[in-house]
């Protein structure tokens, strides 16, 4: 008999496996062919399209939507993939509401944008379902490039380099490729093992060798890679997690939100995962939202997100905040944690508003989501991130300057680094 959501403590089976599976089913259903044509017909196909300017990968959005409207979704997919080879995942997780859709002329005029993200998903899914890779690899150049990190930046870089005919070896410390897409995104946003399917499809370009379980500094060294390869790309993300700096932070029941999310993504029967009755999530970004919503989907009775600044400063979009509250999450703004309460296990968290007024939230589980940090310094830093290029070593994605904790930005940086590496290797530039 599954436990009731009122059961105290951190326990499994708060809800039945069937109920949890239903809760985690895709929260934004895919278009069918008719729905996609109708949605595409709303586009004005602007000549100076603001949506295209707002897209970090500069996809020709009016063109691919026109291709859907004229009944050629495969052509639309190729238009998308030419700029963003991971357009399928980006269609699922990209914050379109603050990028392309926010500047859509329909949004400005009517308050309802063309649903660009869902149209992108329709096109990319249609082509990927056929098992077809839209591009052909160029003749082998004889050049070899190492890529460290099989996340969005590394895979985008590897694909573009392979497309140009270079031989690429991708190393990743985890047992599966995908990086953020595989381990760091809410399970309800990427269902049916889509991240792994996308990696398998991407590798069909050929010329890419994937080696998992290989960590920089443990199994491979930067010096060794520089000696063995013509160029190196670092796209290993941010491996460290910021700490609250409070006593009791390491007691039972206090965990990092990123670890919670990663475990969820790798678990088939999510109902078997333990979750608290009263859950507190500290932070205001997408990781905080993903942890909070999923705790609720697992059957937590109360889930409260607490963010130290105001709503307008929260890095999670208004859309995501509203989605969280619609799922039953309470969001408290303008309060910072000052004390974790409990003896051997957490019992609550004390917070203080800017005014100095304090309040306490009961909690048997606390998730920290206050940002991640760079671990290791294989090349020079530029501020808190790696420099984008030092000699024959390039860097991109979250670990590098310009990284924004977005799949689409990481893809853009990986792709652009690959083009620069290609130019250097072929002698076009130095």
Whether residue 57 has pLDDT greater than 70: yes
- Asked whether residue 177 falls in the same domain as residue 231, the answer is yes
Which whole number is the average pLDDT over 58-76? 97
- Asked whether residue 235 falls in the same domain as residue 295, the answer is no
H-only helix segments in 164-256: 180-183, 194-202, 222-228
Q: How far is CA 54 from CA 59, 118, 139, 313, 362, in A?
A: 9, 17, 34, 20, 42
- Asked whether residue 254 falls in the same domain as residue 347, the answer is yes
| CATH code (residue 334) | 3.50.50.60
Q: How far apart are CA 423 and CA 411, in angstroms?
A: 19
For residue 4, the SS3 value is coil
For the beta carbon of residue 362, count every other beta carbon within 10 angstroms: 16
Whether residue 278 has pLDDT greater than 70: yes
Give me the pLDDT at residue 239, please.
87
Query: For residue 137, is it within any domain?
Result: no
Domain boundary among 66, 100, 128: 128
Whether residue 3 has pLDDT greater than 70: no
Give me the pLDDT at residue 26, please.
66
Give me the pLDDT at residue 2, please.
47
Angle, helices 318-326/286-297, rounded to nearest 10 degrees: 20
- Asked whether residue 92 falls in the same domain as residue 166, the answer is no
pLDDT band at 383 (very low <50, low <70, confident <90, very high): confident
- Asked whether residue 344 falls in the same domain as residue 383, the answer is no
Query: For residue 107, is it within any domain?
Result: yes
Query: For residue 5, is it within any domain?
Result: no
- In sequence order, which residues have a C-beta less than 8 Å from that of residue 297 and are 6 or more positions away? 20, 23, 24, 188, 327
Structural domain boundaries enclosing 65: 33-128
Give me the pLDDT at residue 5, please.
54
- Asked whether residue 162 falls in the same domain as residue 260, the answer is no
> What proportions of the chain, in percent to the nearest 5, are helix, strand and coil?
35, 20, 45
Give me the pLDDT at residue 204, please.
97
Whether residue 208 has pLDDT greater than 80: yes
| CATH code (residue 114) | 1.10.1060.10
Contact 3, 13 (CB under 8 A): yes
pLDDT band at 374 (very low <50, low <70, confident <90, very high): confident
Place of tokens 């989907």: 297
- Asked whether residue 296 falls in the same domain as residue 362, the answer is yes
Q: How far apart are CA 60 and CA 82, in angstroms?
A: 10
Most confidently predicted of 133-137, 373-377, 403-407 = 133-137
Angle, helices 116-128/33-40, rounded to nearest 10 degrees: 140
- Residue-wise pLDDT tens digits, 213-267: 999 999 999 999 999 999 999 999 998 899 999 999 999 999 999 999 999 999 9
What stretch of H or E contains 358?
Answer: strand 358-362
Residue 384 burial (C-beta neighbours within 10 Å; 0-12, 13-18, 19+): exposed
Residue 309 burial (C-beta neighbours within 10 Å; 0-12, 13-18, 19+): middle
Whether residue 405 has pLDDT greater than 90: no
Whether residue 14 has pLDDT greater than 70: yes
Give me the pLDDT at residue 404, please.
86
Whether residue 189 has pLDDT greater than 70: yes
Give me the pLDDT at residue 382, please.
80
Report the sign of the C-alpha dihedral through residues 185, 189, 191, 194, in that order.
negative
- Asked whether residue 187 falls in the same domain as residue 265, the answer is no
Query: For residue 56, is it within any domain?
Result: yes
Q: How far is CA 374 from CA 11, 171, 225, in A?
A: 33, 18, 20
Query: For residue 79, is it within any domain?
Result: yes
- Residue-wise pLDDT tens digits, 340-352: 999 989 999 999 9
- Asked whether residue 269 falls in the same domain as residue 281, the answer is yes
- CA gyration radius for the chain? 22
Whether residue 15 has pLDDT greater than 50: yes
Whether residue 335 has pLDDT greater than 80: yes
- Asked whether residue 345 falls in the same domain as residue 288, the answer is yes
Whether residue 4 has pLDDT greater than 60: no
Place of tokens 């709303």: 42
Number of domains composing the chain: 3
Domain boundary among 332, 347, 371: 371
Which whole number is the average pLDDT over 57-65? 98
Give me the pLDDT at residue 6, please.
63
Percentage of the chain exceeding pLDDT 70: 98
- Asked whether residue 263 falls in the same domain as residue 358, the answer is yes
Which whole number is the average pLDDT over 40-65? 96
Contact 167, 158 (CB under 8 A): no
pTM for this model (two decimals) = 0.94
Percentage of the chain exceeding pLDDT 90: 90
Contact 203, 266 (CB under 8 A): no
Q: What mean pLDDT is reported for the chain? A: 94
Whether residue 49 has pLDDT greater than 70: yes
Which whole number is the average pLDDT over 6-15? 87
Whether residue 375 has pLDDT greater than 90: no
Give me the pLDDT at residue 1, please.
35
């Amino acid at each position: 008999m599954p436990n009731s959501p009122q059961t105290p403590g951190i326990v499994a089976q708060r809800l039945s496996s069937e109920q949890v599976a239903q809760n985690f089913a895709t929260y934004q259903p895919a278009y069918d062919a008719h729905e996609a044509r109708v949605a595409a017909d709303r586009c004005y196909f602007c000549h100076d399209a603001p949506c295209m300017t707002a897209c970090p990968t500069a996809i020709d959005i009016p063109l691919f939507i026109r291709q859907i409207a004229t009944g050629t979704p495969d052509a639309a997919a190729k238009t998308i993939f030419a700029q963003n080879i991971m357009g399928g995942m980006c269609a699922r997780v990209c914050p379109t509401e603050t990028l392309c859709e926010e500047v859509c002329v329909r949004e400005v005029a009517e308050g309802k944008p063309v649903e660009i993200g869902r149209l992108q998903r329709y096109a990319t899914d249609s082509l990927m379902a056929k098992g077809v890779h839209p591009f052909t690899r160029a003749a082998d150049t004889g050049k070899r490039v190492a890529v460290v990190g099989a996340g969005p930046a590394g895979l985008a870089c590897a694909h573009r380099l392979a497309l140009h005919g270079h031989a690429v070896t991708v190393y990743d410390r985890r047992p599966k490729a995908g990086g953020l897409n595989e381990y760091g995104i809410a399970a309800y946003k990427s269902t049916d093992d889509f991240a792994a399917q996308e990696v398998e499809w991407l590798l069909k370009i050929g010329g890419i060798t994937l080696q998992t379980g290989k960590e920089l500094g443990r199994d491979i060294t930067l010096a060794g890679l520089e000696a063995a390869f013509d160029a190196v790309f670092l796209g290993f993300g941010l491996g460290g997690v910021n700490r609250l700096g409070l006593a009791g932070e390491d007691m039972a029941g206090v965990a990092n939100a990123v670890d919670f999310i990663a475990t969820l993504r790798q678990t088939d029967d999510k109902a078997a995962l333990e979750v608290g009755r009263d859950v507190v999530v500290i932070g205001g970004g997408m990781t905080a939202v993903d942890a909070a919503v999923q705790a609720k989907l697992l059957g937590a009775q109360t889930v409260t997100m607490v963010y130290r600044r105001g709503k307008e400063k929260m890095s999670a979009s208004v859309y995501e905040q509203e989605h969280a509250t619609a799922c039953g999450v309470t969001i408290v703004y303008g309060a910072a944690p000052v004390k974790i309460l409990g003896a051997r296990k957490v019992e609550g968290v004390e917070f203080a508003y800017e005014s100095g007024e304090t309040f306490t939230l009961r909690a048997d589980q606390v998730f920290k989501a206050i940002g991640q940090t760079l671990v290791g310094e294989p090349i020079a830093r530029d501020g808190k991130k790696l420099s984008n290029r030092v000699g024959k070593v390039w860097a991109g994605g979250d670990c590098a300057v310009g990284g924004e904790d977005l799949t689409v930005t990481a893809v853009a940086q990986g792709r652009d680094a690959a083009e620069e590496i290609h130019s250097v290797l072929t002698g076009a530039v130095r």
